[in-house]
Structures are given as C-alpha cells and as structure tokens.
Amino acid sequence: MGHGVIAALILYLTLPGIVGAMESAYQWTDKQGQIHYGDKPSTSTDSRTITLQRRMKRADHQSGLRPGELDQINKVEQRQRQQQQRAQTAKTQSDRQRAARRSRCADNREMLKNSSGKENFKKHSRYLRNNCW
C-alpha cells in the first residue's frame, strides 16, 4: 500500500470524529491521484458530497448535555447532598455525645469533692480516671 492510500484510509476513519456535528463532507482526487477529504469542496476539481453519520446523541438545548448526562449529574449532586447531610448529622451527634460526657465528668468531679472519705469516693474517682482524664 502506498503512503497516500494509508493516509486517506486513516483520514477516512477519523473524519467522522473530527468533523463531529457536521452532516456532510467532500471528497476529491487531485492530479496525483491522492484522495482528499474536507468540509469545503475543492475549487480546482470536482468534489463529491459524503453524508456523515452522527455519532453523538442529540444535546439538550439549554445545557449542551446529552439527555442521560443531565440525569447522571443530578444523581451525583443528590448523593453529595446526602453525604453532606450524613456528615452534618454525625457531627451533631458527636458534639452531643461530647457535651454529655463533659457534663458527666463535671457531675462526677462535684460528687468526688462531696464524697471525700465515703464509700462512693472510689466509684467517682474510677469514673474520672477512666473517662475524663
């Protein structure tokens, strides 16, 4: 195979991807016998029109997205919102648990001060040692 034929074959196979949204292209042969393709007809020789198949699906007029892409984006955004809500809920719950623990520690410190020499002294001391210090 000659280089011109290989180049023409490569161009012919890649032309629909390059042209994209175009619906037609032109093919012509020059004086050396090489085949050329373009989006405008040749002025020096006769060109024949080639109808291209569109590979892209119709885009949404407002967003420029394909119909399924908009649904996928909405699903991703919904998942992100759900993750943010879960993270906020977890933070709120963690803050409540921390506040409750601080409150229990403060209560046990107060009870420890009031129970010096009494039997509950060990119980409050152990709680503070294990949970608050």
| CB burial of residue 119 (10 Å; 0-12, 13-18, 19+) | exposed
Helix H or strand E segment including 36: strand 35-38
Whether 78 is in a domain gets the answer: yes
- Count of structural domains, the chain: 2
Q: What is the pLDDT of residues 74-91, one digit of tens each?
A: 999 999 999 999 999 999
Residue 87, classed as helix, strand or coil, is: helix
Are 78 and 114 contained in the same domain?
A: yes
Whole-number pLDDT of residue 7: 63
Q: Output the CA angle 83-86-87, nearest 5 degrees.
A: 85
Whole-number pLDDT of residue 61: 53
pTM: 0.42
Are 25 and 73 contained in the same domain?
A: no
What's the rounded Cα separation, in Å, for the pair 85 and 104?
A: 28
Report the interhelical angle of 120-131 vs 67-114 (nearest 10°).
150
Whether 57 is in a domain gets the answer: no
Are 106 and 71 contained in the same domain?
A: yes
Domain range for residue 90? Answer: 67-131
